[in-house]
A and B are shown apart, each in its own frame.
Chain A
């Protein structure tokens, strides 16, 4: 956090000054570790085992915050007795289909839920369309379950959790993660002693956590632990995702993602959503509680924002105008389709996949096989110049005279040359004023997209083709009156933000809350969760009341969605009766005299619904939420310790080894995530792991991971082209421990190169004790660390660490595993020119990958029982 989010880290330091204990868990000692009280190094890719161990410590010692857990989580809910844990199935949950490598989740459901229609979902399609990402935002559409508030029923979630995590002992944590029992115990004690009525503990992660084949389950493990300890919805608690780009939260809320529409509404699927009604019903399960019950209003308002007066109740608000999904259309699928010649045109909006995405070579070969590429950026990034300076020019794989891709590089306006909002990592929108006009041909994306849309519409004017109706009927009028006489005038960002916020169509009155959205088409709004950013007609995101002139929550600086709430689910900061858990931690509470919720923040609850409220029989949606259902977006109103629906790879997190690992899974015979998304193609080789032959696994004996430097930003497009930052960190380097340097003959400040089955990258050697060899499963493992900021362009150039990764994705959200892999490290520079590919071919051959053979994904059948597998392993491993 001190490295990648230094200014955010000042608050950790502030907490430290006030007595907080800071623990840093990371494969490598960083600037964060230097300022923490305790640094715990662990093996990359083993975080579920580590956190699972802490959950086991909490459950075995009954250290959970019991009143919170019973009232606000689904701990008491009874699960179907058909559910079987990976404990009994050697690493698989019940319902696994080896043919498709997916689960049918019927046995995961709550006990009283019969096998209703939509629990029998096609998990294969869900994986393809990343549907868990949509679920993740709108909660499982389950309804309330049978309960045992004593938590003793063997099928209640609490007992299932207790059994599931019982394997995650301190000894297992030591074996898997390489963390000593003493260090582990210190973390367990600090975390549990600092949680409860009087105290809370915050967990901060950076989004490298999501870049694993089990990424979504990493976050789930954190959620279970924080819910058990009562650290969600309370001040000083929480799970803080430290995201890495100025508006990456905003670009998820108002997505440029294939599977989502604004406000986490799903993109319609060709097979599942033949019509509007089916679509709406698939989001709000009939009978479920919570605010997703209003999804029809959210959808109608979006469609009205898109197609205006053409969208009517009679034509289902033009629902048919939307293109439909038929599977995986994620960025990695698209890149492979480029290589295969299926994609013709590609736009890059401030994004540099040639350096920033996994498997850089595939990215560049894909771009070299397009009809045309449009790049919009501040500088000539590597994704614009791949045809003249990519590593594939040197290897002869791309020949400029033979590369047919037509490239347009449009210079973009910078953040000070346009106005608009960023949404930062805690969901806060901040409006930026424009300082000055951009120079020359530099233009905002708003300008580019508006005028591209205008040109498309002008060309199609008069078309009678059905396919052109969505473009021709589109509401596309963002240029303010004062610029309308200019043919290429700048559109108004404020006008777009007003459409996003929404308004009453007849009067133009801006909506102040999404609860004002109507289902009848009389209001419109482009992103329901952002409704309120124009509350009372005022651009709330532009508010700049100085911190010194308002409360510590600072509600009058910018605007946070939803409804300017700064802490989500803050109903849980009060006890079931609505009283603060303690004076020290008072945040939001029920004011009996006034008959309303009040406190330091906007209550995340209906303002006048008393804690004692119980829904009448037959109630649904918001009305069905009881006065103590703090998790108002979930179908049962409870925080999910166990997830009966919505995750592809199981209702509970389970430790699987990374896709590339030198070790056997010590917990189960199943080695890696059995449901992971794999692209088995010769241009996407994956390094061997169990159950491959030991000598093949040993070709890539080390574990490597990557992360950021303070002085650089992602692919370097915004840092390597700048004088000051280039001077501060001028060169690609590789960090190794003194022990590994000795083992491989690496010299400090000399050259080395790192090799995987995809490529080899070189850098200067930095021999440092920041990397500590760990003892895992009885032997020493060396970890190698690289920054991933370099490429062929800019003021300082170097090899790209992302060239080392292959493409394997988390099945829930289709994010690649790019924070852990196996590699070899050798002294000296890598081969150049065609010799580089020959060098890699030699590795492929020694690793047994030259024949196109791939490591089996399912390993339960091959290893027999867990114990047998372990014994066999000792002889088999290098």
Chain B
């Protein structure tokens, strides 16, 4: 006889016979709840991460199963956030897995009216060609007073506040080496 199908499983009985007299824990738990498992428990692995939104720097735990992000939770170990996330941080799984994310290079040719597809390597080569072309066309060795400037004012960049330090380091290093001084950031905005 399956005891769980008898009146013995009624919450009110469990409440008085078990160790949950207020009926706010195990006594009130349904069979369905008993049978399901949290995605955080069945995940293949967990990565320790940091929320990508504001600058508070809340700790995140990123749960991965079958090479998909299945859940992102606040990290209770973090002395900054103590496991909490705000609505944005709590939605960051949606940021990573959302339907509007692009996964293919998009290309709009001059005077074009539609996006076109472009192979990633082709796109990288096209950008490299364009950088060198503009750099050559706009190169300045000296300013009007004859001071050395060795630069291009034809190429600019903006961004970095949501990138990693290592990425920003490469932006500044590459810009400086190719003679581009116009690199700017949300910190100016």
Contact = CB atoms under 8 A, between A and B. Distances in A.
15 contacts: A243-B55, A247-B55, A247-B162, A248-B55, A252-B185, A256-B172, A256-B185, A322-B150, A401-B111, A402-B111, A416-B49, A432-B48, A432-B50, A500-B169, A713-B54
Contact of A446 (B166, B178, B183): B166
Q: Which of B86, B95, B152, B165 has its CB near the most chain A CB atoms (within 10 A)?
A: B165
Chain B interface residue number, banded? 35 or more
A418 B96 CA distance: 12
Contacts of A433: 47-49, 62
Interface in A759-805: 794-795
Given A321-B177, A452-B174, 12 more contacts: A7-B85, A245-B53, A248-B187, A256-B184, A350-B159, A408-B105, A414-B95, A420-B167, A449-B171, A530-B165, A550-B79, A725-B88
B111 A257 contact: no
Contact of A255 (B59, B101, B168, B180): B168
Interface string A512-537: 00000000000000110010000000
B111 A344 contact: no
Contacts of A453: 170, 174, 177
A348 B183 CA distance: 10
Contacts of B118: 408
Interface in A341-370: 342-351, 353, 356-358
Given A347-B157, A814-B188, A323 B150 contact: yes
A338 B168 CA distance: 23
Q: Give me the 9 closest cross-chain CB pairs, A-B, nearest first.
A: A424-B57, A349-B159, A420-B164, A440-B103, A323-B151, A547-B79, A245-B161, A554-B79, A256-B160
Contact of B186 (A343, A351, A407, A408): A351
Given A324-B149, A343-B153, A422-B165, A372 B91 contact: no
Contacts of A415: 49-50, 52, 92, 96, 162
Contact of B165 (A253, A306, A348): A253
Interface in B93-142: 94-96, 98-113, 115, 118, 120-121, 123-132, 134, 137-139, 141
Nearest to A6: B86
A348 B109 contact: no
Contacts of A244: 54-55, 161, 186
A529 B170 CA distance: 17
Interface residues of A, number: 161
A236 interface: no
B2 interface: no
A813 B185 CA distance: 12
B77 to A, nearest CB: 4
B181 interface: yes
Interface stretch (B12-20, B31-39, B64-72): B64-72
B91 A422 contact: no
Contacts of B129: 459
A267 interface: yes
A25 to B, nearest CB: 20
Interface stretch (A54-62, A280-288, A378-386): A378-386
A435 B47 contact: yes
Contacts of B47: 416, 432-435
A264 interface: no
A256 B53 contact: no
Contacts of B6: none
A724 interface: yes
Contact of B58 (A7, A270, A349, A488): A7
B162 A246 contact: yes
Contacts of A73: none
Contact of B88 (A248, A497, A713): A713
Contact of B87 (A450, A728, A794): A728
B86 A557 contact: no
Contacts of B112: 387, 400
Contacts of B48: 432-433, 544
B168 A351 contact: no
Contact of A324 (B50, B87, B151, B171): B151
Q: Which of A246, A441, A444 has its CB near the most chain B CB atoms (within 10 A)?
A: A246
Q: Which of A405, A557, A724 has its CB near the most chain B CB atoms (within 10 A)?
A: A724
B91 A722 contact: yes
B110 to A, nearest CB: 4
Contact of A406 (B108, B155, B184): B108
Q: Which of B104, B150, B187 has its CB near the most chain A CB atoms (within 10 A)?
A: B187
B54 A421 contact: no
A722 B94 contact: yes
Nearest to A256: B160
Contact of B147 (A243, A271, A725): A271
Q: Which of B100, B127, B158, B166 has its CB near the most chain A CB atoms (within 10 A)?
A: B166
Nearest to A322: B176
A725 to B, nearest CB: 5
Given A244-B55, A401-B111, A441 B166 contact: no
B22 interface: no
A376 B177 CA distance: 21
A607 to B, nearest CB: 25
Given A423-B165, A813-B188, A455 B124 contact: yes
B173 A725 contact: no
Contacts of B64: 435-436
Q: Which of B89, B99, B186 has its CB near the most chain A CB atoms (within 10 A)?
A: B186
Nearest to B76: A546
B8 interface: no
A251 B56 contact: no
B111 A400 contact: yes
A349 B158 contact: yes
Contact of B158 (A331, A499, A526): A331
B148 to A, nearest CB: 6
Nearest to A554: B79
B26 interface: no
A567 to B, nearest CB: 14
Contact of B104 (A322, A349, A440, A452): A440
Interface string A691-718: 0000000000000000000111110001
Nearest to B86: A6
Contacts of A679: none
Nearest to B162: A350
